[in-house]
Amino acid sequence: MLEKYYEILEGKRKSKYLVNKNRMEKLIEKAEEIYRNCHFCEHRCHINRYEKVGKCRVKETSIASHFYHYGEEPMLIPSYTIFFSGCTFYCVYCQNWDISQYEAGIYIEPEKMAFLIEKAEGKARNVNWVGGEPTPHLLYILKVLKECNANLPQIWNSNMYCSNETMDILNYIIDVYLTDFKYGNDKCAYRLSKIKNYWEIVTRNHEIAYRQGEMIIRHLVLPNHIECCSKPIIEWIAENVPEAIVNVMDQYYPTYKAFEYEEINRRLSLEEYNKAYNYAKKLGLQVI
């Protein structure tokens, strides 16, 4: 379970980005090309992000916060977690809406962020790129890693609505994919997150990530979405990425605009959570 991740922590293996240091300049060049005609995610805005924001509401990178996080999965803590502002989704129940749906935070020079990460070596078990959503900030992340030499596993904490081009770049720098698998169909994804073609894109990227690195899948169970979302997701994981670690999460509470949607305007019941959790166990998933 997460064998390569632990080998990095034990000094038996280098993080992917260190192994591929000689590729970093070319990866940055590739990311700069994408940035000028933006298609880091599958919205594929094709705008020049040096000039204006995309659907992610991001132009220049803003970091809302960065700190040692003790609220992640047990094997990941403490995690040096870097929260970006902006997101490729528009979730009506977003618990981080204040940074995901609005510009927040400050720009930190890549050299300074690299220094902060190097200071975290020996204290944190990983570097956790999150948000909001890290996808719009991939160029910045590459610039940080170019300057950094800490042998810490790199965590991609994402909704996985990345483009194929982004996934190609991530293959050289990411050790563990910490994914957020939300919906079991396109209808719920559009209704609650305003996202098109969700199932096709996110399952594709989970399969790619499963081949590229280690994987922890988070599924936040939503009220009244067991049959339409939780069960299809659990079944897909069992069939397609069976060795992934799965965190069936019960932390849902209505916030932001959730009170405007009748089916999710309450907390998750224990019965609903147990139904999803027990189904995952029944299908043999590695549930934590």
Quote the pLDDT of residue 104. Answer: 80
Averaged over 176-180, what is the pLDDT?
98
Quote the pLDDT of residue 98. Answer: 87
Quote the pLDDT of residue 150. Answer: 98
DSSP states along 201-238: HHHHHHHHHHHHSEEEEEEEPPTT-IIIIIHHHHHHHH
CATH of residue 203: 3.20.20.70
Averaged over 30-40, what is the pLDDT?
98
User: Residue 217 above 80 pLDDT?
Assistant: yes
Quote the pLDDT of residue 202. Answer: 98
Q: How many domains does the chain have?
A: 1
pTM, two decimals, is 0.96
Q: Convert the pLDDT of each residue in 69-116 to its tens digit.
A: 999 999 999 999 999 999 999 999 999 888 888 778 899 999 999 999
User: Residue 124 above 90 pLDDT?
Assistant: yes
Q: Convert the pLDDT of each residue in 51-72 to its tens digit.
A: 999 899 899 999 999 999 999 9
Domain span including residue 100: 3-287
